[in-house]
Structure 1
Amino acid sequence: MIPVPLTGVIPPLCTPLTPAGEVDTRSLRALVEHLIGARVHALFALGSTGEAAYLTDARRRTALETVVEAAAGRVPVLAGAIDMTAGRAADQARTAARLGADAVVATAPFYARCHPAETADHFRRVRQAAGVPLVAYDIPAAVHTRLDPEVLLRLAAEGTLSGVKDSSGDDGALRRLLVAVRGRGLHGSFAVLTGSELAADGALLAGAHGLVPGLGNVDPHGFTRLYAHARAGQWEAAAAEQDRLAALFGLAAVGDPAVMGVDSRAYGGFKAALHLLGVIGCPATAAPQVPLDEAAVKAVRGYLEEGGLLP
C-alpha cells in the first residue's frame, strides 16, 4: 500500500475523545471520511497531533483499529510507534503492524540520552520488529534530540528507513537534507516530508515529497489544493493557498498561554475547529491539558469564517 517514495498530503489525525477521555470512535470515523473526501494521499494515526503521548496502550489500539477499519484500504495508514526506548517502540511497532498499519513512524529514543550510533541501532530494531516500512520522525522539541542527517542517509541507503517527517522547524536544515538526498541518489526511494503548516509551499519547491500538517485535519482541501498547484508548477497559486492557510493557522494559538502549553493550545484549536465544522462530537483534549475557554473557541470560529470554512 505504501508508494515508493511516499508522497502527497498525509494529515496526522487528531484523536477525538469523549468527555470521559475515551476514544470517540464514531467521530474518528467521521474524521477519516472528512480527510479521504478531500483526496488526501495517506493518513497518519497516533502522532503528536493525535495526542499519542497522552493515550494508554489500549486507547492507542482502539484509535488505530478505528482508522484502519474506516480507511478500508482506500489510502495507506501510517501509525506512530512512539515510545521512550527501542524495546518499547518495537512493541508499539509490532502492534501497529498487526492491527493493519501500512507503515510505522518512530522518533529517536527519549528520556534516555543516546549517541547517534545508538539512535541508528534504535531505528534498525524498530524496523525489524515492525516488518513494514519505517519513517523517522524528527521532532527535537518533543524528544530533545535532533536526528543526524548522516544517520538518516545511511539508514535510507541500507533500506532501514523509507522516509523522514521533518518537524524540526529548521527550514535551512531541511533544504540541506533534500540536497544531500538527491546527491546520494535517494530521492526516488526515501521520502522527505515536512510537518510545517507555514512553509509547505517552500518545502515542496525545494523538493520535499509531501506534507504532514496538523492543520490538515481542519482544512484538508486547502492542503491538497496547495500540493496539486505545486506539483503542476503553479507556484503563484500555491503561494496564495499557503498564505490563506498561514492565516488560518492562527487558530492553533488562541488559547491563553498563561494557563496552557503550546501543544494543548494547538490540539485544542484543531479540535474546536473540527467540532464547529460538525466533524467531531466533542472538542475535548486529553488530560491534563487545559481546554479552550469560551473566548478562545469564539476566536477559532473567527478564523474559520475568515478562512472561508464557515459562513
Structure 2
Amino acid sequence: MKRINGIIVPMITPLTSAYELDFTGLEKLVDYLIAGGCGGLFPLGTTGGGPFYSMEKQQEINRAVCRFSAGRLPVLTGVSSASPEDSIRLGLAAKEAGASAVVAAPPCYLKLTESEVLDFYRLLTNEIGLDVFVYNMPGMTKIDLRPELLMKLAEIPGICGYKDSSNDMNALHQVLLALKDKADFPIYVGPESLMVENVMFVGAGGVSAGANLYPEVYVNGYRAMRDGNLKEMLRWQKKIDTIQKIYSVHPGFNSVAMGLKTGLKLKGICGNAVLPPLAQPTPECEEKIAQIMRQVDAI
C-alpha cells in the first residue's frame, strides 16, 4: 500500500447503552476523523479493544469502518489475537471488506521464539495476501520485537511498516537509524511523547489515540514537526500534553478508551459506554474530562 505520512487514528469502538455496536456513532466518528485531516483509520487496535470483542463483532466493526470510509482514507485493520488462525480469518475478512492493510502483533499467551515470530509474519502475509504492519506492544504480548528482529521482519515480502508501542526511546532510535533508507517501511509510534523524536528521525508519523478526540491538533502538530517549525510545534505539543491528562481520569487499564469516549460524548459524536465487565464511566469523571477539554481549547 501507499506510504502514509502523518496521523493514523487507532479508533475507539462506539457502543450503545445496551452495549451493541453504535453504527450511527461510528459513521459520525469516521467522518469527523476524515474532516480532521487524518491519514489513515486503524480500527480494532488496543484503543478500539479489538481482541476483547468476539470474532463476529470484530468483522462487523471492520466492515462498517470500510463502508463508512468509502475509500476516502486507507483502513488498517487490527487482527491481533492469541490464535494465528483467528488472525488469518480476521485478515481475510478485512481484505474482503476493502481494508488496505492489516496490523498484527505476535500472538500472545504463548511466548514465541525469534524464529517463530518470523514464521508467524510469513504465515500472515502468505495466507492473507494483504500488506501487514508489524505491531510491537510488549505490554500486552510479553514479546518485545527488538531492533535486530525488526530488521529481519522488514525483509519479509508483504511486511509494509511498523507500529511501535514499546515506549522504549533507545530501541526506537536504533530502529529509525537502521531503517532510515528503507522508504517502503514506514515507522509509526503509539506513545504520543515520542512522536517528536520519531518525525525528527524521519519516521512516518504517529498512531495517536488522542486524535479520536482532537484530530486537527495531532495533524497540525505533525505538520509543524515535519516542517521544523519549532514555535508551532511547541504550541501544538502543549495541547497534546494536556489532552493526555484525559487518559488517567478513569480507573483501570482501559482508562484511555473510556476517557476518549467520554470526550466524544461531550462533543456529541457517540456515547461513552464500554463493554462489560469493564467499569462504566462516572458523572464525576465526565466533569473532570470536560474541565480538561476546556483547558485544551484555551491553549
The gaps in structure 1 that reach 5 residues or longer are none
Aligned with 2:125: secondary structure? helix
Q: Distance in 2 between matches of 1:153 and 1:191?
A: 12
Q: Distance in 2 between matches of 1:62 and 1:158?
A: 30
Residue 6 of structure 1: how far off its partner (Å)? 3.0
Deviations 1:3-59 (A, max 9, x none): 1x3321100111100122211011000000000001111111111111112211121
Correspondence 1:46 to 2:44: yes
Residue 202 of structure 1: how far off its partner (Å)? 2.4
TM normalised by structure 1 equals 0.93
Give yes or no for contact 1:54–1:287 (8 Å, CA) kept in 2: no
Aligned with 1:9: secondary structure? strand
Residue 104 of structure 1: how far off its partner (Å)? 0.2
Give yes or no for contact 1:192–1:210 (8 Å, CA) kept in 2: yes
2:117 to 113, 116, 119: 119
Correspondence 1:159 to 2:157: yes
Q: Distance in 1 between matches of 2:147 and 2:90?
A: 25
Aligned with 1:23: secondary structure? coil
Residue 167 of structure 1: how far off its partner (Å)? 0.6
- Aligned equivalent of 1:189: 184
Q: Distance in 2 between matches of 1:247 and 1:211?
A: 17
Deviations 1:143-199 (A, max 9, x none): 1110132222122123241111001111121111100112xx31x110110112223
In the alignment of these two chains, the number of paired residues is 299
Correspondence 1:265 to 2:255: yes
Q: Distance in 1 between matches of 2:198 and 2:241?
A: 14
Q: Distance in 1 between matches of 2:64 and 2:298?
A: 26
- Aligned equivalent of 2:248: 253
Root-mean-square deviation (Å): 1.5
| Structure 2 letter corresponding to 1:139 | M
In the TM superposition, 1:82-231 aligns within 5 A as: 82-182=80-180, 185-186=181-182, 188-231=183-226
1:36 to 34, 37, 41: 34
Residue 99 of structure 1: how far off its partner (Å)? 1.4
Q: Distance in 2 between matches of 1:161 and 1:150?
A: 16
| Structure 1 letter corresponding to 2:202 | G
Question: Percent identity of the aligned residues?
Answer: 27
The gaps in structure 2 that reach 5 residues or longer are none
Correspondence 1:71 to 2:65: no
Correspondence 1:299 to 2:288: yes
Give yes or no for contact 1:51–1:286 (8 Å, CA) kept in 2: no
Aligned with 2:92: secondary structure? helix
Correspondence 1:233 to 2:228: yes
Aligned with 2:159: secondary structure? coil
